[in-house]
Amino acid sequence: MARRGPPPLPTRLKLIAGNPGKRRLNAAEPTPAAERPELPPALKLPATRAAQLARGEWDRTVGELVDLGVLTRIDRAVLEAFVVNYGIWAAAIEHVLAVGAMVKAPQSGVPMQNPNVAIAKNAMKLWMAAAAELGIGPASRSRVSRVEPSKEDDEDLLG
């Protein structure tokens, strides 16, 4: 059976927010060190426009996420899902902007929705889901504020 409600925030984010629920924190939660993940093989030689856009988004975001302490090596797949789907979305949107949201069907010539509209929509759903996992976007960031954890928070965590 699936769990109900939103996924729990990581302990680190609860500490940054000042543990607003004042609940006991998970002292055994794994805390990998923030470090730059290795570039995924699919982005090393970008062959398509979508891959080029994905690589550009990787280069733009990875350093910032590491500096914020949000990204670790084991998060590479989530970041890859974010940038790849961003690249697909951006390439599809470029096409829609170039030729329009409506095109003629190849055989009948009847006006139809440009298939890139649906491609962009699906890629954006996946891109935004991965972005939320990484804390990218105003809504994700708004749930957390930067404060230094106090000794009281450390005691809550341990006991």
Write the pLDDT tens digit of every residue in 34-69.
889 999 998 998 789 999 999 999 999 998 888 877
Residue 26 has pLDDT above 90, yes or no: no
- How far apart (Å, rounded) are the C-alpha atoms in residues 18 and 13? 9
Q: Strand, helix or coil at 159?
A: coil
Of residues 5 and 59, more confidence is placed in 59
Look at residue 1 in the predicted model and tell me its pLDDT.
57
- How far apart (Å, rounded) are the C-alpha atoms in residues 9 and 17? 10
What pTM, to 2 d.p., does this model score?
0.74
Segment 116-131 mean pLDDT: 96
Q: Which amino acid is at 65?
A: L
**Pick from 18, 20, 144: which is nearest to 70 by CA?**
144
Residue 17 has pLDDT above 90, yes or no: no
Q: DSSP H helical segments within the chain, as ranges?
A: 11-16, 49-67, 76-99, 115-134, 138-142, 151-158
Residue 145 has pLDDT above 60, yes or no: no
Look at residue 24 in the predicted model and tell me its pLDDT.
82
